[in-house]
Amino acid sequence: MTFLQPWMLAALPLVALPLVIHLINQRRFQTVQWAAMMFLLSARALSRGYSRLRHWLIMLLRMLAVAAVIFAVGRPLSRGWLALAGGGRPDSAVVLLDRSPSMQAVDPAGGGSKLDTGRRQAVESLVTLRPARCLLVADALRGPEEVAGPEAIAELAGGGPAAAAADIPGMLQAAYDFLRENAAGTSEIWIVSDQRANDWRPEDGAWGGIRDAFAKLPQQVRFQLLAYARPAAGNVAVRVGGVRLEQRGRDRQLLVTVSLVRQEDGPRLTLPLRFEIGGVTTAVDVELSGREAVLRNHAIPLDAAAGTRGFGRVSIPADADPADNEFFFVYDEPPPRRALVVADDPAVRRVLELVAGIAPDKDVPATVDSVAPGGLATAAWDETAVLLWQAALPTGRDAELVDAFVARGGQVVFFPPEAPAAATFAGVSWGGWTAHAKPVAPESWRTDQDLLANTLSGGALPLGELEVRRSCGLEGEHVALASLPGGAALIARAAGAGGVCFCATTPAARDSSLASEGVVLYALVQRAIERGRVVLGRARQLDAGPAAAEFAAAATSWSRLAGPDAAPSTESGLHAGVFAAGERLVAVNRPAAEDTAPVVSDDRIDGLFRGLSFSRTSGRAGDGESIVQEIWRAFLIAMLLAIIGEGLLSMPRRREAEAAPRGFPPAEAAA
Amino acid sequence: MFTDRQPRAFLDPAVLARLAAVPLVARRPMVGTVSGRHASPHRGSSVEFAEYRKYVPGDDLRRLDWRAFGRSDRHYVKEYEADTNLRLCLVLDTSGSMNFGSAAVTKIAVARRIAGALAYLASQQGDAVGISCVADGIVRTLPPRRSPAHLRLAFDVLDEVKPAGPTRLPEVLHELAETTRQRAVVVIISDLFCPPPDLAGAFSHLRFRRHDVAVFHLLDPQELAFQFQRPTRFLDMEGGAAIFADPVDIADRYHRAVQAYLDDLRKVVLESAVDYHRVMTDESYEQVLARFLVGRAAARGLR
């Protein structure tokens, strides 16, 4: 409970007024000569239980009445039953809005979405609290935006729903930066969120720093979380896993892989999937029995007259969360599969040229360029998807070229040279060669993702059948994708650069059986090529968020082709839709984690704010009640009840008259 | 006959004149020394026939009923009731508590008026009047006498007595029961601030001695109502320890204690056949005495 006029609580010592009056009254006694002492002595000997209880009850009720008046004058505010943090009118209030798609879930009982409800409740609360300054943080990148008053938050264009995940730690950091530089007085930070893990990222190391930073602020900062953690019942999310244009003779068709996901098991459902491509709508029913159903390579024939480039949308009927009921996709002719091979060892070069030059799809041409380390400048970098390097790590001008290639999304796989040097790339350098007495096979490897993941049919790559006779050590920070017995990495990614991969042996027969057991090397290289091609294509799928926003900002032009038109231009990359970015088509959709991220437990959230003034109020979408209400009426009613109770207890006259001694003969007879 | 010319504050001639119309009678036979207007346990020469009795030698022949002899040929003596005078013993409580009065009148003042009026009325009809002032013992006593001079002495005693000291009424009543040998009307005028069971013993003792016991129980209205607004320090008028109490806190229990006392006292007076009269100090003592006298006149005839 907080108070709009907390200084009135300074009058709380007046609660003791009835007690003081009682004590003063006790001291103002009179002295009388009294004859009937035997009755007084008898009265004192009688039980005083009820009398004393009544006496103290009267005193208590009088004190309660005074306290209720003082509290009522202090204009108390109700903040829900859980929020008992004290405090008065804040100097500034910062509202952090989680605008992620999951916040657009609505309650089946009616009412608005979680976002609408949370925003309205926050606005109503702040209208009551009337802070001197009011700010909105709708996006970590934009930072706090000052608004004229709490009511303006509801009208602010940037406070609407978005397709990107909310970066709660980033938003808190932005709020901290603002408070540190601007706010001098007591501040309140209101967080409106559904506590999804992908928005809060409780494992993020930034939380410790944020917590410490707020704790060190000179002014008092209170955190109020309006939590709408209840998951949307029966919600199903649709997502396009892949789109591939296939040319069969003169016919052209689009192969679309669609997945349906729900967060909890439910009854078997048959959902109609609607595909809209170029104004043409097709539908297909998909049965969802568990938590996930995948429709693989659903073929949608395309009009032969239409171009090879286009976009579309897949949707399911409306459910609890409308934000995940559609997904945009774009397609184009596949970009060329061009690989660049730099190898000292001709045998190795030959093997790499072979695995890179044989495309898995016969309709897509594959090209391999082999250059010497010195001739990198002349390579066709703009069309290259992958760089296969078996030589001393690049330095100087070569390193700059490779860095630029990696920075724009290219993939690099390094193989060890015969004589490793001290050069470093992406924080990793080669160590010395180790010859194994007996050929060894990888002991473990990551099968869930990255270059060595299981195949689409679920089968594992046959890494266990490899024979590694010689391997080269890796120094520097890296993440092992496959490890040899003893823990040494066989295939690893550089921790500093996502597109850089190291293979600790070569395909040469003296080093390993990568060439003879070619499946592993082929899959590794082709997957690297596939990754590298993504950025080369003129049609790109992007997750809404900072990366998409950066992409949009870097594009020469950014215009919406499909999708909701409520998004302001300042939020490019944060809203779903299909956009034309220069010559490219870009489909922006919600991140995959939005569909599956669990709710962070209350205890975990409490732990994130440990040591800070934090309170949480749980609500649900469509909740019509305000979080903060003035409750002085309740105190006035309490005062009235206390006065009535005191009056009833203090009404001894009638009871005493009834209990007055009748005597005998009766008084009336005597009269 | 009333030769006391000295004005007495506790005597109102008008009241005495009105009360004189009703005789003061005893509820049980009295043994007096002279002829009076009260029933005697002995046969006498009054006009009221009592019974026939067989003649025995030695009886006065003048009392022989010749008509009865003529009818039955047997000798019968005709006997008549004897009327005699009574002894009125006034027992006046003069303990300190009798000095209490919430209004203008104290209990001792009312007691003086009642005692004075009864003494005068008894003396007027030829009865002997005695008075005993008691507190923690017998403070002062006058034996019953019939003379007008004795009445003046009794008035003097009433004038001079000062309420003081604690009450030991039951013990004093026992003592009076022992020392008053002849039957008497014992009128106790007191606030009876002592345990009713103790009083029961004293009353029974007096009754055993064939005394006609009447009690005027004096109470002040404030002693029943107990209406105080402020915390009060109560000083004991009989010299006991003072008590500090908040009347608001203690009033209900005080009332319960008073009610229990009155209930016990009612039981005691009923069992002891005491002629009990409660007298509030704010009511007219004339009415109290009229009620007392009329009640006794109605019961006349019992022997």
B259 contacts A659? CB cut-off 8 A: yes
A40 contacts B231? CB cut-off 8 A: no
B243 contacts A37? CB cut-off 8 A: yes
Q: How does the average pLDDT of chain B come out, rounded?
A: 84
The whole-number average pLDDT for the span A94-99 is: 90
- Strand segments (E) across A194-291: 221-227, 237-248, 251-261, 269-277, 280-288
Residue A183 binned pLDDT confidence (cut-offs 50, 70, 90): low
Nearest to A577 by CA among A218, A311, A266: A311
**CA–CA separation, B180 and B200 (whole Å):** 18
CATH 3.40.50.1820 fits B13-26+86-297, yes or no: no
Residue A132 has pLDDT above 80, yes or no: yes
In tens, the pLDDT along A70-95 reads 988 887 776 544 343 445 567 888 99
A33 contacts B100? CB cut-off 8 A: yes
A361 with A406, same domain: the answer is yes
Scanning A627-656 for CB atoms below 8 A from B yields: 652, 655-656
State the pLDDT at residue A413: 93
Q: Which of B191, B254, B277 sits opposite A35 (nearest CB)?
A: B191
Q: Which domain holds residue A179?
A: 92-231+599-627
B245 contacts A44? CB cut-off 8 A: yes
**CA–CA separation, A426 and A414 (whole Å):** 11
- Strand segments (E) across chain B: 35-54, 76-84, 87-93, 128-134, 138-145, 185-190, 212-219, 232-236, 243-245, 275-280
- Mutate which of A23, A24, A40, A44 to disrupt the B interface (most B C-beta within 10 Å)? A40
Hey, what are A461's tokens?
């790559």
Tell me if residue B95 falls in helix, strand or coil: coil
Considering only CB atoms, which chain A residues are within 8 Å of B170?
A: none
Specify if A213 maps to a domain: yes
Scanning B115-154 for CB atoms below 8 A from A yields: none
Asked if B164 reaches chain A (Cβ–Cβ under 8 Å), the answer is no
B280 contacts A51? CB cut-off 8 A: no
Residue A532 has pLDDT above 90, yes or no: no
Task: Tell me the percentage of chain A whose pLDDT exceeds 90.
Answer: 18
A406 with A517, same domain: the answer is yes
Q: From the CA of A60, how many Å to the nearest CA of chain B?
A: 16
Question: Which amino acid would we find at residue A659?
Answer: A
Asked if A42 reaches chain B (Cβ–Cβ under 8 Å), the answer is yes
Residues paired with residue B54 on neighbouring β-strands, in sequence order: B76
B234 contacts A37? CB cut-off 8 A: yes
A663 contacts B261? CB cut-off 8 A: no
Residue B303 has pLDDT above 70, yes or no: no
Of A534, A549, A579, the domain-final residue: A534
Considering only CB atoms, which chain A residues are within 8 Å of B262?
A: 661-664
State the pLDDT at residue B267: 92
Hey, what are A231's tokens?
């998951």
Considering only CB atoms, which chain B residues are within 8 Å of A58?
A: none
B107 contacts A35? CB cut-off 8 A: yes
Residue B106 binned pLDDT confidence (cut-offs 50, 70, 90): very high
State the pLDDT at residue B45: 60
A208 with A116, same domain: the answer is yes
Asked if B256 reaches chain A (Cβ–Cβ under 8 Å), the answer is yes
State the pLDDT at residue B250: 85
A509 with A360, same domain: the answer is yes
A31 contacts B254? CB cut-off 8 A: no
Closest Cα in chain A to B233: A31
Q: What are the residues whose beta carbons fall under 8 Å from the beta carbon of B43, sequence distance 6 or more? A: B50, B79, B80, B81, B82
**CA–CA separation, A558 and A573 (whole Å):** 10
A493 with A516, same domain: the answer is yes
The whole-number average pLDDT for the span B189-217 is: 91
The whole-number average pLDDT for the span B116-143 is: 89
Asked if B297 reaches chain A (Cβ–Cβ under 8 Å), the answer is no
Specify if A39 maps to a domain: no
Closest Cα in chain A to B225: A660
Considering only CB atoms, which chain B residues are within 8 Å of A26?
A: 231, 246
Residue A488 has pLDDT above 80, yes or no: yes
Residue B62 has pLDDT above 70, yes or no: yes
**CA–CA separation, B267 and A450 (whole Å):** 107
Q: Which of A29, A659, A664 sits opposite B262 (nearest CB)?
A: A664
Residue A204, domain CATH: 3.40.50.410
State the pLDDT at residue A314: 93
Q: Which of A35, A655, A663 sits opposite B97 (nearest CB)?
A: A35
| Most confident range, picked from A654-658, B138-142, B182-186 | B138-142
A326 with A341, same domain: the answer is no
B230 contacts A30? CB cut-off 8 A: yes
B258 contacts A652? CB cut-off 8 A: no
B237 contacts A38? CB cut-off 8 A: no
Which H or E element spans position A150? helix A150-155
Pairwise pLDDT comparison (A154 vs A594), residue with the higher score: A594
**CA–CA separation, B5 and B18 (whole Å):** 19
Hey, what are B286's tokens?
């004339």
Hey, what are A132's tokens?
């001197």
In tens, the pLDDT along B37-48 reads 666 665 566 656
B258 contacts A39? CB cut-off 8 A: yes
Q: From the CA of B217, how many Å to the nearest CA of chain A?
A: 10
In tens, the pLDDT along B65-77 reads 898 899 999 999 8
Q: From the CA of A14, how many Å to the nearest CA of chain B?
A: 23
Considering only CB atoms, which chain B residues are within 8 Å of A667?
A: 280
Residue A327 has pLDDT above 70, yes or no: yes
Residue boundaries of the structural domains of chain B: 13-26+86-297, 35-84
State the pLDDT at residue B207: 87
A38 contacts B243? CB cut-off 8 A: no
Specify if A664 maps to a domain: no
Q: How many C-alpha atoms does A204 have within 13 Å on its Cβ side?
A: 19
Q: Which of B251, B257, B278 sits opposite A663 (nearest CB)?
A: B278
Beta carbons of A621 and A105 less than 8 angstroms apart? yes
Asked if A25 reaches chain B (Cβ–Cβ under 8 Å), the answer is yes
**CA–CA separation, A533 and A42 (whole Å):** 105
| DSSP-assigned letters across all residues of A491-517 | EEEESS-TTEEEESS-SSTTTBSTTTT
A505 with A414, same domain: the answer is yes
Specify if A353 maps to a domain: yes
B96 contacts A43? CB cut-off 8 A: no
Residue A184 binned pLDDT confidence (cut-offs 50, 70, 90): low
Considering only CB atoms, which chain B residues are within 8 Å of A33?
A: 99-100, 235, 237
Q: Which of A35, A43, A670 sits opposite B250 (nearest CB)?
A: A43
State the pLDDT at residue B300: 58
Specify if A666 maps to a domain: no
Considering only CB atoms, which chain A residues are within 8 Å of B193?
A: 35-38
Lowest-confidence range among A279-283, A372-376, A383-387, B196-200? Answer: A372-376
Hey, what are B170's tokens?
């039951």
Q: From the CA of B122, how many Å to the nearest CA of chain A?
A: 24
Lowest-confidence range among A375-389, A558-572, A582-596? Answer: A558-572
Query: Using alpha carbons only, how large is chain B's radius of gyration in Å?
Result: 23
A41 contacts B235? CB cut-off 8 A: no
> Torsion-angle region of residue B107: left (phi > 0), alpha (psi -120 to 50) or beta?
alpha
Nearest to A492 by CA among A511, A509, A473, A510: A473
Residue A384, domain CATH: 3.40.50.880
- Mutate which of B229, B238, B252 to disrupt the A interface (most A C-beta within 10 Å)? B252
State the pLDDT at residue A667: 42
Beta carbons of A321 and A104 less than 8 angstroms apart? yes
Q: B7-21 burial string, b = 16+ CB within 10 Å, else e?
A: ebebbbeebbeebee
Q: How does the average pLDDT of chain A come out, rounded?
A: 84
- The answer to whether the peptide bond before residue A665 is cis (omega within 30 degrees of 0) is yes
Residue B227 binned pLDDT confidence (cut-offs 50, 70, 90): confident
Q: From the CA of A643, how many Å to the nearest CA of chain B?
A: 18
In tens, the pLDDT along B238-255 reads 888 888 888 877 888 899
Considering only CB atoms, which chain A residues are within 8 Å of B100?
A: 33-36
State the pLDDT at residue A487: 85
Asked if B234 reaches chain A (Cβ–Cβ under 8 Å), the answer is yes
Helix axis angle for B196-208 and B247-272, nearest 10°, is 20
Residue A622 has pLDDT above 50, yes or no: yes
Specify if A84 maps to a domain: no
Residue A530 has pLDDT above 90, yes or no: no
**CA–CA separation, A409 and A431 (whole Å):** 27
Considering only CB atoms, which chain B residues are within 8 Å of A665?
A: 277-278
**CA–CA separation, B233 and B100 (whole Å):** 16
The whole-number average pLDDT for the span A265-275 is: 88
Q: From the CA of B95, how many Å to the nearest CA of chain A?
A: 10
Q: From the CA of B279, how many Å to the nearest CA of chain A?
A: 8
Burial of B126 (0-12, 13-18, 19+ CB in 10 A): middle
A670 contacts B278? CB cut-off 8 A: yes
Q: How many domains does chain A have?
A: 4
Which H or E element spans position A610? none
Q: Which of B223, B228, B277 sits opposite A35 (nearest CB)?
A: B223
Q: Which of B96, B257, B280 sits opposite A43 (nearest CB)?
A: B257
